């Protein structure tokens, strides 16, 4: 075992992303004594405001939303027992096609090299053994998720470090189940949902986080201002635990030689 703590670094785009795709592994590895570092790239200011007011509508104050979402993120980190929270506070770019994509200072408009240099500095500081982020399409095409992927891969190259690197994903079989869970499933929407993620046999890493699904649910619930947009909360905690207990990844960099499929992000490191 190394003298420094084993470290997991998750790089996410917005407050609440940490809970959706990686809440289980963050809680599980924290419980195992691993240092967990969360890097959140944007301020979340394109989220809903109080009362569900939408971006661009009267009464939506981006600065107030950003402050509220920071407080919610800190509460989520407390639930997940995250060791270190690092926030870049780039301006939220909004969903694909929104005018906010083009706003000066938005994350989407930030040069990749700039964001990558900031992240590389954090990587050199924390020296993560495992890094988790999104794939090149940001899992579902969100500009800020794509940008988080780009700066992460750029930072890894700049830092010269060789941690195990994973991209979050979902098995297609699970996406199909989510489609079936929708209260009034729209066939086209359910079909589109079923195309997100990867065929089950292309997933390299299946981590059972079932004992931590309650924490994951509570971390998502901490982002109360965005509750209208968080489909998973509508399931209730019991059903959520049944469906969301397994977190899945594609391993894209590894120097340990650990065999795949694997059931532990730290396989080969301990």
Distances from the Cα of 171 to the Cαs of 57, 145, 176, 177, 248, in angstroms? 36, 19, 9, 10, 7
| Mean pLDDT confidence for 38-51 | 94
Q: Is 118 left (phi over 0), alpha (psi -120 to 50) or beta?
A: alpha
> Which two structure tokens, joined as six digits, stand for 110?
């930030």
What percentage of the chain has pLDDT greater than the value 70?
A: 93
| pLDDT confidence band for 1 (50 / 70 / 90) | very low
Statement: residue 193 has pLDDT above 80 = no
Statement: residue 199 has pLDDT above 70 = yes
> Which two structure tokens, joined as six digits, stand for 62?
């981006």
pLDDT digits (tens, 9 = 90+) for 80-101: 999 999 999 999 999 989 999 9
> Which two structure tokens, joined as six digits, stand for 203?
């997933």
Q: Taking the CB of residue 134, how many other CB atoms lie within 10 A of it?
A: 25
Q: Name the average pLDDT for the chain.
A: 91
Statement: residue 105 has pLDDT above 80 = yes
- Return the bridge partners of 165, or none: 131, 253
Statement: residue 179 has pLDDT above 70 = no
- Alpha carbons 163 and 256: distance in angstroms, whole number: 9
Statement: residue 2 has pLDDT above 70 = no
Higher pLDDT, 51 or 25: 25
Instruction: Report the DSSP pairing between strands 35-42 and 84-90.
Output: parallel
- Alpha carbons 195 and 126: distance in angstroms, whole number: 36
Global pTM reads: 0.93
Distances from the Cα of 41 to the Cαs of 15, 66, 224, in angstroms? 9, 12, 20
User: What is the reported pLDDT for 183?
Assistant: 64
């Amino acid at each position: 075992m190394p003298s420094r703590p084993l470290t997991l670094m998750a790089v996410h785009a917005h407050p609440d992303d940490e809970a959706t795709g990686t809440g289980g592994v963050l809680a599980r590895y924290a419980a195992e004594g691993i240092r967990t570092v969360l890097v959140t790239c944007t301020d979340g200011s394109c989220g809903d405001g109080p009362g569900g007011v939408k971006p661009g509508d009267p009464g939506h104050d981006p600065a107030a939303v950003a402050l509220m979402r920071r407080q919610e993120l800190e509460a989520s980190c407390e639930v997940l027992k995250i060791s270190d929270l690092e926030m870049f506070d780039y301006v939220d770019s909004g969903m694909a096609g929104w005018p906010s994509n083009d706003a000066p200072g938005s994350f989407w408009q930030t040069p990749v090299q700039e964001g990558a240099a900031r992240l590389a500095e954090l990587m050199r500081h924390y020296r993560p053994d495992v890094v988790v982020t999104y794939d090149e399409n940001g899992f579902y095409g969100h500009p800020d998720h794509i940008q988080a992927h780009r700066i992460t891969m750029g930072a890894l190259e700049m830092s010269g470090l060789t941690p195990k690197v994973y991209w979050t994903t979902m098995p297609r079989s699970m996406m199909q189940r989510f489609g079936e869970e929708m209260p009034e499933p729209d066939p086209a929407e359910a079909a589109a949902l079923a195309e997100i993620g990867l065929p089950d046999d292309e997933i390299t890493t299946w981590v059972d986080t079932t004992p931590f699904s309650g924490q994951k649910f509570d971390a998502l619930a901490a982002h109360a201002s965005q509750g209208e947009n968080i489909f998973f909360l509508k399931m209730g905690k019991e059903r959520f635990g049944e469906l969301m207990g397994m977190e899945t990844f594609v391993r894209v960099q590894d120097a340990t030689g650990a065999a795949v499929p694997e059931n532990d992000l730290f396989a080969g490191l301990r």
